[in-house]
């Protein structure tokens, strides 16, 4: 746990578990109390208090002899509901000029470690974002990137299996995935991206050399080809002390209705 945070340990655990639940984790049930005690390095009473808070919010259900399971709608479900008009339309994603070139540049100027590559049936949120049919598979790859100062990011990517068939762990170790996509015969055209704050769980904390519960920069990015077909869905977690985004804004419109629009976005890492 992070002793520098002005939060009780149970609340730090609650925040991490709540975030994972919102991401659609634990579909088969949450880890047991002893597993969570070992993961977070805390006493049983602390774990139980965190779980109790999740129960009070209606996020999990605890049943004796059957374990603990999630009972909330995942982000994928919320996204689907928004499509049928039952919720307010999602915030529009900015198309970020210069982003793709910047991502390739970062890939060429950092070192990468491929943790795993596998072909599998995608979870529902990935299937929805990539617009895949029920029988289509994806390549899921997990990688870390580092600079000379240490680990920078923890990246999970999903690519339709028929596109990723020409590259695997060895190729991902050598080249940025955007270059590999274009070498596979597709043309990367644009990206939609959201940026938010995230908390490090035990797995990510270990790979990024931070404490569990540390604040991270969370990036979700959907890459499209020239025909506006999704090519790649990415979830990235970045250390904010080593990575930052810079956006240039311009004022447009009439004098009575001027608005800010993004002109360019760049990423800086150190």
pLDDT (0 to 100) of residue 14: 85
Return the half-sphere exposure (C-beta side, CA atoms, 13 A cut-off) of residue 78. Answer: 10
Percentage above 70 pLDDT, the chain: 74
Is the pLDDT assigned to residue 269 strictly greater than 70?
no
Containing domain of residue 247, as a range? 99-269
* 123: its two tokens: 């979870």
pLDDT (0 to 100) of residue 103: 56
Least confident of 125-139, 180-194, 211-225: 180-194
pLDDT (0 to 100) of residue 73: 47
* 160 or 57: which leads in pLDDT: 160
Q: Report the distance separating Cα 24 and Cα 72, nearest Å.
A: 9
Average pLDDT, the chain: 79
In a domain, 189, yes or no: yes
In a domain, 3, yes or no: no
pLDDT (0 to 100) of residue 2: 63
**Per-residue pLDDT averaged across 8-16, rounded?**
83
In a domain, 238, yes or no: yes
SS (H, E, C) the chain: CCCCCCCCHHHHHHHHHHHHHHCCCCCCCCCCHHHHHHHHCCCHHHHHHHHHHHHHCCCEEEECCCEEEECCCCHHHHHHHHHCCCCCCCCCCCECCCHHHHHHHHHHCCEEEEEEEEEECCCHHHHHHHCCCCCCCEEEEEEEEEECCEEEEEEEEEEEHHHHCCCCHHHHHHCCHHHHHHHCCCCEEEEEEEEEEEECCHHHHHHHCCCCCCEEEEEEEEEEECCCCEEEEEEEEECCCCEEEEEEEEEECCCCCCEEEEEEEEEEEC
Q: Are residues 185 and 240 in the same domain?
A: yes
In a domain, 27, yes or no: yes
Domain count, the chain: 2
Is the pLDDT assigned to residue 95 strictly greater than 60?
no
**Per-residue pLDDT averaged across 21-46, rounded?**
87
Q: Are residues 61 and 193 in the same domain?
A: no
* 149 or 207: which leads in pLDDT: 207
Of 31, 53, 72, the residue at which a domain comes to its end is: 72
pLDDT (0 to 100) of residue 209: 93
Q: Are residues 174 and 255 in the same domain?
A: yes
pLDDT (0 to 100) of residue 231: 94
Instruction: Kindly indicate the confidence band of residue 97, based on its pLDDT and cuts at 50, 70 and 90.
Output: very low
Q: Are residues 51 and 144 in the same domain?
A: no
Q: Are residues 62 and 138 in the same domain?
A: no
Q: Are residues 26 and 156 in the same domain?
A: no
In a domain, 121, yes or no: yes
* 76 or 247: which leads in pLDDT: 247
> Can you give the pTM of this predicted structure?
0.63
**Per-residue pLDDT averaged across 204-223, rounded?**
92
Instruction: Kindly indicate the confidence band of residue 90, based on its pLDDT and cuts at 50, 70 and 90.
Output: very low
In a domain, 252, yes or no: yes
CB proximity list for 252: less than 8 A, separation 6 or greater: 258, 259, 261
Q: Are residues 36 and 164 in the same domain?
A: no
* 28 or 101: which leads in pLDDT: 28
The C-alpha angle with vertex 210 and arms to 194 and 201, in degrees rounded to 5, equals 60
- pLDDT tens profile 153-189: 999 999 999 999 989 999 998 888 888 888 888 888 8
Q: Are residues 65 and 104 in the same domain?
A: no
Q: Are residues 129 and 248 in the same domain?
A: yes
Least confident of 75-84, 175-184, 221-230: 75-84
* 228 or 6: which leads in pLDDT: 228
Q: Report the distance separating Cα 34 and Cα 42, nearest Å.
A: 10
Q: Are residues 55 and 112 in the same domain?
A: no
In a domain, 46, yes or no: yes
**Per-residue pLDDT averaged across 7-34, rounded?**
83
CATH of the domain at 219: 3.40.1410.10
CATH of the domain at 48: 1.10.10.10
Q: Are residues 127 and 240 in the same domain?
A: yes
Q: Are residues 119 and 233 in the same domain?
A: yes
In a domain, 58, yes or no: yes
Other CB atoms within a 10 A radius of the CB of residue 105 amount to 14
């Amino acid at each position: 746990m992070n002793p520098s945070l002005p939060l009780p340990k149970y609340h730090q655990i609650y925040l991490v578990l709540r975030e994972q639940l919102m991401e659609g984790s634990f579909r088969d049930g949450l880890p047991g109390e002893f597993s969570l005690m070992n993961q977070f390095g805390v006493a049983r009473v602390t774990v139980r208090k965190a779980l109790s808070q999740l129960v009070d919010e209606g996020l999990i259900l605890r049943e004796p002899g059957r374990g603990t399971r999630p009972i909330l709608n995942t982000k994928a479900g919320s996204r689907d509901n928004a499509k049928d008009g039952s919720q307010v339309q999602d915030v529009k994603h900015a198309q970020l000029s210069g982003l793709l070139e910047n991502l390739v540049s970062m890939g060429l100027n950092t070192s990468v470690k491929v943790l795993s590559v596998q072909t599998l049936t995608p979870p529902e949120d990935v299937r929805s974002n990539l617009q895949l049919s029920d029988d289509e598979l994806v390549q899921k790859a997990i990688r870390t990137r580092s600079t000379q100062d240490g680990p920078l990011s923890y990246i999970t990517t999903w690519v339709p299996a028929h596109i990723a068939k020409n590259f695997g762990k060895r190729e991902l170790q050598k080249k940025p995935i955007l270059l590999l996509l274009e070498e596979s015969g597709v043309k990367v055209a644009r990206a939609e991206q959201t940026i938010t704050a995230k908390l490090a769980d035990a797995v990510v904390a270990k790979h990024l050399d931070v404490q569990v519960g540390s604040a991270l920069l969370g990036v979700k990015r959907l890459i499209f080809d020239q025909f506006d077909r999704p090519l790649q869905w990415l979830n990235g977690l970045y250390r904010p002390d080593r990575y930052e985004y810079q956006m240039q804004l311009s004022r447009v419109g009439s004098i009575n209705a001027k608005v800010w629009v993004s002109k360019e976005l760049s990423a800086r890492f150190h």
